[in-house]
């Protein structure tokens, strides 16, 4: 059997730290714990975790500063664990290279799904998949083609480009700004309305029930996610 992936939990709240530990240990991961940024950095050096669950509100240092340190020095995936109201913090975390975030209070299943997704991407890299399936929709990134139940779906170039950006990193949240930058260009990175219109069109064309989207889900104030795991 392969070695268990190592996770590092960085959280100063002992109660939340314990909840996180119990959940991921039960799923079979090996776990280290740190309550401060300092502890986290020295433990990361020794333990070489593959994934870090990172609270941003730490007593000795802004958690945002740690994201880049982890990414650069350890190559670990980073999932930020954040309070619900901290939308701008989540956006900043994604911009700094966090793989995803989890909102407190979190659901254990959601936590484990995020961990699996982040670890999988860390192993396979971004460029691996050219065919992405989500429910009855299939996105062929090589041929720029989208099918639904085997039928071609006609998308405008912008619709396709937004969908493709989401499909390149399935099940992970992609920030508004990143989508706008990539699809429209850096000058338009604040035009969230452009994005909203395109996403609404995509939902009309691809969702079973466009009023209750299950394929392209909204992360309020942050971005969108293409859901391929059920
Ligand atoms: Ca905290």
Question: Where are the chain's structural domains?
Answer: 6-124, 128-226
Angle at which helices 157-168 and 176-183 pack, to 10 degrees?
Answer: 130
Ligand 1 centroid, distance to 57 Cα (angstroms): 4
Ligand 1 centroid, distance to 35 Cα (angstroms): 9
Ordered strands of the 6-10 beta sheet: 30-34, 6-10, 51-55, 77-83, 100-104
Residues of the chain with pLDDT under 50: 1
Is residue 44 within 8 Å of 70, Cβ to Cβ?
Answer: yes
Residue 118, phi then psi, degrees to nearest 5: -65, -40
Q: Report the distance separating Cα 120 and Cα 113, nearest Å.
A: 11
What residues pack around ion ligand 1 (CB closer than 5 A)?
A: 12, 55, 57
- What was the pLDDT predicted at 87? 85
The two tokens of residue 171 are 């099940």
CATH, range 6-124: 3.40.50.2300
- What was the pLDDT predicted at 130? 86
Ligand 1 centroid, distance to 146 Cα (angstroms): 43
Residue 168, phi then psi, degrees to nearest 5: -70, -25
Ligand 1 centroid, distance to 24 Cα (angstroms): 19
- What was the pLDDT predicted at 123? 63
The alpha helices in the chain, defined as continuous H runs, are 14-26, 37-47, 63-74, 87-95, 108-124, 157-168, 176-183, 192-206
Ligand 1 centroid, distance to 178 Cα (angstroms): 27
- What was the pLDDT predicted at 105? 87
R_g (Cα) of the chain, nearest Å: 18
- What was the pLDDT predicted at 3? 72
Using DSSP bridges, classify how beta strands 30-34 and 6-10 pair: parallel, antiparallel or unpaired: parallel
Ligand 1 centroid, distance to 11 Cα (angstroms): 6
Ligand 1 centroid, distance to 224 Cα (angstroms): 26
- What was the pLDDT predicted at 126? 53
CATH, range 128-226: 1.10.10.10
Ligand 1 centroid, distance to 38 Cα (angstroms): 14
- What was the pLDDT predicted at 4? 83
């Amino acid at each position: 059997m392969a070695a268990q992936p190592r996770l590092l939990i960085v959280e100063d709240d002992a109660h939340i730290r314990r909840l996180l530990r119990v959940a991921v240990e039960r799923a079979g991961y090996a776990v280290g714990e740190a309550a401060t940024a300092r502890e986290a950095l020295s433990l990361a050096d020794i333990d070489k975790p593959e994934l870090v669950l990172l609270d941003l509100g730490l007593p000795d240092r802004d958690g945002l500063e740690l994201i880049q340190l982890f990414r650069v020095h350890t190559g670990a995936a980073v999932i930020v664990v954040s309070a619900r109201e901290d939308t701008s913090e989540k956006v900043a975390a994604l911009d700094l290279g966090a793989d995803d975030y989890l909102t407190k209070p979190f659901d254990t299943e959601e936590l484990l799904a995020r961990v699996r997704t982040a670890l999988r991407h860390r192993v396979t890299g971004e460029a691996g998949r050219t065919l992405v399936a989500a429910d009855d929709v299939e996105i062929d990134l090589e041929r720029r083609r989208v099918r639904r139940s085997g039928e071609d779906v006609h998308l405008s170039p912008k619709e396709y480009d937004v969908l493709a950006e989401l499909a390149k990193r399935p099940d992970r949240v992609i920030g508004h700004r990143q989508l706008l930058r990539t699809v429209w260009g850096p000058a338009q990175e604040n035009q969230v309305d452009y994005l909203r219109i395109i996403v609404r069109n995509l939902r009309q064309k691809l969702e079973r029930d466009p009023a209750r989207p299950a394929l392209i889900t909204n992360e309020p104030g942050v971005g969108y996610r293409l859901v391929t795991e059920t």
